[in-house]
Amino acid sequence: MTPIQNVLVNNRTTITPIWLMRQAGRYLPEFRNIRSQNPNFINLCLNETLSSEITLQPLERFDLDAAIIFSDILMVPFGLNQKVEFKKDLGPQLGNLNLEKISKLDEIDFIEKLYPIYKSIKKISHNKIMVNKDLIGFVGAPWTLLVYMINKISPKKELIFNFFKDEFLINKLLSIIEKFLKIHITEQIKSGATIIQIFDSWAGLLKEKDIPNYIYIPTLNIVNHIKTLNVPAICFPRNIKNYKEYCQIVKPNAVNLDYNIDPLQVVNELDIPIQGGLDPKILLTDKENLKKNTLRYLSIFKDYPYIFNLGHGVLPETDPNMVDYLVKTVKDY
């Protein structure tokens, strides 16, 4: 059993495992080299050879316990034939939504459009570097995909003022998203993903009264689907206020902490494995500060099933030597 599976399945941490969100990314010169020659991000995600190479880049440098497939949560809207573009300094830009067209989309067409992702997962899973390591597939949570598909850009701090005006559209789209998320998850697992992480990037935008309908119930449906496939689910409900209630209702196998959550606050109130929490900006400081903060998390969770990670993705300006130091600090603990 892998070190991460030991935490997720057995609720035990013999050795603290570590992987990092955005561990394959712009902070690595080898990634920047590939990216400079492949400006279209969607095409890069759909390039089986390059996406598998990018996924494995951090494992060739660092002693990490998992690879996470190089892809994006917006590959699902792309698979549903909504236009998705990534523009420099602007982030993702989505095209107009055609609900009638999306409603009629055939499952086979969706799988075919995203098939290179599944081929990439299969290729990575057979690489010898993956021995005793997990391969993490992932999706955006239903709510976060709903936000992107209706909002069409990153909402930053708030939704467009009339976001909820068309209740029929929202409910219909949510059910379509759920259906195709399940298909995307199933295909990732069939191809070799051993864990699924659910990113709810915009969980913090909702008022408390709307959280059950738009976050708890839809995400629970996805988590239950993952569990039926005998694979653990890790959830990252970014900026959610009530972690305890979220975990009690959604029942993931583990939850990823935001970096603005005090680990001391949650360590005694959650009864499932915990992942992450370290502020990625600490990697931009010095080794002494990085070590101090890393040891703080390791100390707080030393008697708890814990997977070391960050409270958000590795920042592009991060020095790879600091990532190496972080991994070694965790491994030496």
CATH number at residue 65: 3.20.20.210
User: How much is the pLDDT for 91?
Assistant: 85
pLDDT digits (tens, 9 = 90+) for 92-135: 999 999 999 999 999 999 999 999 999 999 999 999 999 999 99
Token reading at 164: 């909820």
State yes or no: pLDDT of 145 exceeds 90: yes
Average pLDDT of 9-14? 81
Per the structure, how many domains does the chain have? 1
Query: pTM of whole model > 0.95?
Result: yes
Query: At a CB cut-off of 8 Å and minimum separation 6, what does 261 contact?
Result: 243, 277, 311
CB atoms within 10 A of CB 248: 13
User: How much is the pLDDT for 24?
Assistant: 97
Confidence of residue 194 (pLDDT cuts 50, 70, 90): very high
User: How much is the pLDDT for 11?
Assistant: 81
Q: Are 174 and 146 in contact (CB under 8 A)?
A: yes
Confidence of residue 163 (pLDDT cuts 50, 70, 90): confident
User: How much is the pLDDT for 87?
Assistant: 84
Which residues partner with 255 through β-bridges? 235, 274
Mean pLDDT of the chain: 96
Distance CA 327, CA 205 (A): 33
User: How much is the pLDDT for 162?
Assistant: 81
Average pLDDT of 151-179? 88
**What single-letter amino acid sits at 282?**
I
pLDDT digits (tens, 9 = 90+) for 28-71: 999 999 999 999 999 999 999 999 999 999 999 999 999 999 99
Boundaries of domain holding 31:
3-332
Distance CA 202, CA 182 (A): 20
